[in-house]
């Protein structure tokens, strides 16, 4: 059908070249080209959706039912991914998109956006290097199986990642903490060779369409070059560094006191309540606002249902029944003989009505926030799945937008008035607002040096600078010391690959700056909602039931990727991306930390 249309286009072009005024010729030619592009895009979108759905179903099974020794599931996932890749990377689609873009002046903005997206999709798996693409798909599949099929062992028994996290959040026994932390890093040994192969294969895949390397390719989704993205992230770190330096100093002294040992210059990795030191919130308990006990009485199902009800209160529709029928929301029973991906995620299976979530919800504060966050992604999917957004442009305005919406609702879900509306804390409870702000900073501020610094710089070094495998751990810990002020209890040999223990390094690569940028955006969104819509203190908001908040979020979300993210930001909040609202939000905390740290020795430099 496409080839016949191209023939028709040739006939029309011949006819208009022989008759009519020059202006008429141009209009007729423009109409003919637009018709051709529309037909091509309609065909592409339909086929893309069909193959996406098949691939997503196979991947869903691969992630939700990991059976030791099962090769059939992974083989099916590989085959479906190969079919999908064969289409998006086909030479015919590449050539057609390039040909039409050569006549950009005759196309609409929406047509141009779709054609450019088709080329972006093609760059990760071009048909011209089909064997490399197939090897990449197989390597990706094997890496996922290795990562999530790993058995973490402590004292001779298999343990879950939830157990690891609970020990690191609560144990005051340093020997136990060190053993658990080391156990969490064992999987890196099995993942290292796979990462080496994937680095090479990913780079090879994107280079035929003009990208320098895989990092360069992923960054281009923002309309930026690698150097620009690195510069933006370094600037964000510089902006928040004075506050992070205070938090780091406070943490060293507080943890040394807790463990009854001398104060170290850098934070030992196993001292922290997170495997990677990216979230320190459990270091602070705010009396009157601990909701674990209440949540344990409610149960995990209640958490998911109430998270949905929150979005409904803003004016969003109820989740489709298929969400509950097809999602995997809770931990697996001990009796089952398989595992599942233990990382919370939201899935848009067909870029239409089939939305799902993969979680392991337990009745605690962490999962309360995570569930609100993940449903933020789900409602983003549902909002831009409308007739004005083509299938291939059903994504965030940029990738950070998606995380920003989820994290925004995660922030809102833990503010005092919001919790009171759910009956999780009493209306007359007295809360230390400074400690609550500190707890929030140990999440949002602490993540920035990790995300913008360690993760982003490591993957930049991995893909752009091609660091050798025998320097992976050395590079990783050098970055952790520089940006987080964290070190291991002893030198970590190159037998390990501690970077690969982080999920995203393996199956969501070269994109972790998304999280840092999302935190910058979320505070911009939150400031706008608090000041402009709610007229409430940004530290004490309650979004629940406010349809105007819902309307604002819908305006942000409904265009999907059809608009430039900078324009979307400017149109909705009147400014460009800036860390200023985050700094403003945490400004009251600085005086408290400086007072607490008076007389203490700082070990991080004043500037980075």
Interval 26-35: pLDDT, tens: 788 788 899 9
pLDDT tens column, 427-471: 888 889 999 999 999 999 999 999 999 999 999 999 999 999 999
Six token digits for residue 140: 């990706």
Residue 482 clears pLDDT 70, i.e. is over it: yes
Task: Report yes or no on 599 lying in a domain.
Answer: no
pLDDT tens column, 488-508: 999 999 999 999 999 999 999
| pLDDT of 5 | 40
pLDDT band of 20, cuts 50, 70, 90: low
Other C-beta atoms closer than 10 Å to the C-beta of 287 total: 10
Beta bridge partners of 487: 268
| pLDDT of 27 | 80
Q: Is 357 helix (H, G, I), strand (E, B) or coil?
A: strand
Residue 11 clears pLDDT 50, i.e. is over it: no
Average model confidence (pLDDT) across the chain: 94
Contacts (Cβ under 8 Å, ≥6 apart) of 169? 273, 282
| pLDDT of 12 | 42
Distance CA(466)–CA(382), nearest Å, equals 39
Residue 22 clears pLDDT 80, i.e. is over it: no
Angle separating helix axes 187-206 and 456-463, nearest 10 degrees: 60
Mean pLDDT value across residues 307-326? 97
- Give backbone dihedrals phi and psi of 422, rounded to 5 degrees, phi first: -95, 0
Task: Report yes or no on 120 lying in a domain.
Answer: yes
Residue 76 clears pLDDT 70, i.e. is over it: yes
Domain stops at, among 161, 193, 210: 210
- Looking at the structure, do residues 397 and 545 belong to the same domain, yes or no? yes
pLDDT tens column, 126-147: 999 999 999 998 999 999 999 9
- Give backbone dihedrals phi and psi of 328, rounded to 5 degrees, phi first: -120, 95
Mean pLDDT value across residues 326-346? 92
pLDDT tens column, 369-428: 999 999 999 999 999 999 999 999 999 999 999 999 999 998 999 999 999 999 999 888
Tell if the pTM clears 0.85, that is, is over it. Answer: yes
Which whole-number Å values give the CA distances from 444 to 16, 56, 516, 523, in the listed order? 61, 31, 9, 10
| pLDDT of 98 | 96
Query: How many separate domains does the chain show?
Result: 2
pLDDT tens column, 104-123: 999 999 999 999 999 999 99
Task: Report yes or no on 159 lying in a domain.
Answer: no
Other C-beta atoms closer than 10 Å to the C-beta of 381 total: 25
Contacts (Cβ under 8 Å, ≥6 apart) of 384? 394, 395, 557, 558, 559, 560, 561
pLDDT band of 351, cuts 50, 70, 90: very high
Contacts (Cβ under 8 Å, ≥6 apart) of 194? 139, 142, 143, 146, 500, 506
Distance CA(493)–CA(476), nearest Å, equals 11
Q: Give the DSSP per-residue string, 509-522.
A: TT-THHHHHHHHHH
Residue 1 clears pLDDT 50, i.e. is over it: no
Instruction: Tell me what percent of the residues of the chain surpass a pLDDT of 70.
Output: 97
Which whole-number Å values give the CA distances from 505 to 213, 217, 403, 458, in the listed order? 15, 15, 17, 10
Six token digits for residue 257: 């006191």
Q: Please report where in the chains the tokens 């879900």 appear, as a residue.
A: 413
Q: Is 7 helix (H, G, I), strand (E, B) or coil?
A: helix
Q: Is 345 left (phi over 0), alpha (psi -120 to 50) or beta?
A: beta
Nearest to 388 by CA among 560, 553, 566, 568: 560
Distance CA(264)–CA(250), nearest Å, equals 12
Long-range pairs, 464-468, Cβ under 8 A, ≥24: 464/212, 464/213, 464/215, 464/216, 464/226, 466/199
Select the more confidently predicted residue: 335 or 27.
Answer: 335
Distance CA(535)–CA(399), nearest Å, equals 29
| pLDDT of 15 | 40
Residue 13 clears pLDDT 80, i.e. is over it: no
Decide: 500 and 195 in contact? Cβ < 8 Å. yes
Mean pLDDT value across residues 62-84? 91
Question: What is the distance between the terminal CA atoms of the chain, rounded to a whole angstrom?
Answer: 59
Nearest to 59 by CA among 145, 163, 176, 156: 145
- Three-state SS string over 557-601 comes to HCCCCCCCHHHHHHHHHCCCCCCHHHHHHHHHHHHHHHHHCCCCC
Nearest to 198 by CA among 251, 248, 145, 136: 136
Helix, strand, coil percentages for the chain (3-state, nearest 5): 65, 5, 30
Assign residue 307 the CATH number of its domain.
1.10.1370.40
Provide the CA 169 distance to its chain's centre, in angstroms.
23
| pLDDT of 429 | 87
Six token digits for residue 175: 């020997």
Q: How many C-alpha atoms does 212 have within 13 Å on its Cβ side?
A: 13
Task: Report yes or no on 471 lying in a domain.
Answer: no
Residue 8 clears pLDDT 50, i.e. is over it: no
Other C-beta atoms closer than 10 Å to the C-beta of 223 total: 11
Residue 336 clears pLDDT 70, i.e. is over it: yes
| pLDDT of 290 | 81
pLDDT tens column, 250-281: 999 999 999 999 999 999 999 999 999 999 99
Q: Give the DSSP per-residue string, 67-98.
A: -TT--HHHHHHHHHHHHHHHHHT-HHHHHHHH
Decide: 2 and 40 in contact? Cβ < 8 Å. yes
Task: Report yes or no on 408 lying in a domain.
Answer: yes
Nearest to 186 by CA among 219, 232, 154: 154
Task: Report yes or no on 480 lying in a domain.
Answer: no
Nearest to 349 by CA among 321, 371, 327, 324: 327
Distance CA(53)–CA(50), nearest Å, equals 5
Other C-beta atoms closer than 10 Å to the C-beta of 388 total: 11
pLDDT band of 68, cuts 50, 70, 90: confident
Range of the domain at 564: 289-431+512-577
Provide the CA 32 distance to its chain's centre, in angstroms.
41
Distance CA(468)–CA(465), nearest Å, equals 9
Task: Report yes or no on 400 lying in a domain.
Answer: yes
Instruction: Tell me what percent of the residues of the chain surpass a pLDDT of 90.
Output: 87
Decide: 275 and 184 in contact? Cβ < 8 Å. yes
Task: Report yes or no on 413 lying in a domain.
Answer: yes
């Amino acid at each position: 059908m496409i080839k016949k249309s191209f023939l028709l286009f040739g006939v029309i072009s011949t006819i208009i070249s022989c008759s009519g005024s020059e202006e008429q010729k141009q209009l007729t030619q423009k109409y003919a080209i637009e018709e051709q592009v529309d037909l091509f895009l309609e065909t592409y979108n339909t086929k893309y959706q069909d193959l996406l759905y098949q691939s997503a179903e196979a991947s869903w099974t691969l992630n939700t039912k990991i059976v030791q020794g099962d090769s059939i599931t992974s083989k099916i996932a590989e085959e479906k991914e190969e079919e999908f890749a064969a289409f998006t990377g086909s030479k015919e689609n590449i050539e057609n998109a390039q040909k039409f873009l050569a006549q950009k002046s005759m196309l609409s903005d929406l047509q141009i956006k779709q054609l450019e997206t088709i080329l972006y999709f093609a760059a990760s798996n071009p048909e011209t290097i089909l064997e490399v693409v197939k090897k990449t798909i197989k390597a990706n599949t094997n890496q996922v199986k290795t990562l999530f099929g790993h058995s973490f062992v402590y004292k001779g028994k298999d343990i879950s990642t939830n157990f690891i996290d609970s020990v690191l959040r609560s144990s005051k026994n340093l020997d136990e903490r060190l053993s658990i932390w080391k156990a969490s890093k064992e999987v890196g040994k099995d993942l290292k060779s796979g990462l080496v192969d994937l680095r090479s294969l990913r780079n090879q895949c994107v280079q035929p369409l003009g990208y320098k390397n895989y990092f360069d390719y992923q960054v281009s989704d923002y309309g930026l070059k690698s150097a620009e993205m690195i510069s933006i992230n370094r600037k964000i770190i510089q902006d928040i560094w004075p506050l992070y330096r205070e938090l780091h100093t406070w943490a060293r002294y507080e943890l040394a006191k807790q463990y009854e040992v001398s104060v170290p210059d850098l934070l030992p990795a196993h001292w922290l309540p997170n495997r990677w030191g990216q979230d320190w919130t459990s270091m602070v308990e705010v009396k009157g606002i601990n909701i674990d006990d209440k949540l344990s009485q409610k149960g995990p199902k209640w958490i998911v249902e109430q998270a949905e009800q929150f979005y409904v209160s803003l004016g969003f529709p109820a989740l489709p029944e298929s969400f509950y029928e097809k999602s995997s929301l809770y931990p697996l029973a001990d009796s089952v003989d398989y595992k599942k991906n233990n990382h919370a995620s939201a899935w848009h299976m067909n870029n239409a009505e089939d939305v799902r979530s993969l979680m392991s919800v337990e009745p605690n504060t962490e999962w309360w926030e995570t569930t609100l966050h993940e449903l933020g992604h789900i409602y983003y999917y549902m909002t831009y799945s409308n007739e004005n957004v083509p299938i291939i442009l059903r994504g965030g305005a940029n990738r950070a937008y998606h995380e920003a919406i989820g994290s925004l609702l995660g922030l809102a879900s833990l503010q005092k008035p919001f919790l009171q509306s759910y009956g999780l804390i009493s209306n007359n409870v007295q809360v230390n607002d400074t400690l609550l702000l500190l707890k929030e900073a140990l999440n949002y501020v602490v993540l920035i040096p990790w995300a913008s610094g360690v993760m982003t710089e490591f993957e930049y070094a991995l893909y752009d600078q091609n660091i050798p495998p025998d320097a992976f751990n050395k590079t990783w810990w050098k970055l952790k010391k520089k940006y987080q002020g964290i070190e291991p209890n002893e030198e970590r040999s190159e037998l390990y690959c501690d970077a690969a223990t982080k999920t995203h390094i393996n199956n969501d690569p070269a994109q972790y700056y998304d999280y840092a940028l999302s935190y910058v955006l979320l505070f911009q969104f939150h400031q706008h909602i608090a000041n402009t819509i709610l007229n409430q203190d940004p530290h004490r908001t309650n979004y629940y039931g406010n349809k105007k908040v819902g309307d604002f979020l819908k305006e942000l979300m409904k265009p999907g990727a059809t608009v430039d993210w900078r324009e979307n930001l400017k149109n909705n909040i009147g400014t460009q991306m800036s860390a200023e609202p985050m700094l403003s939000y945490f400004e009251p905390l600085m005086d408290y930390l400086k007072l607490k740290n008076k007389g203490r020795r700082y070990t991080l430099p004043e500037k980075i």
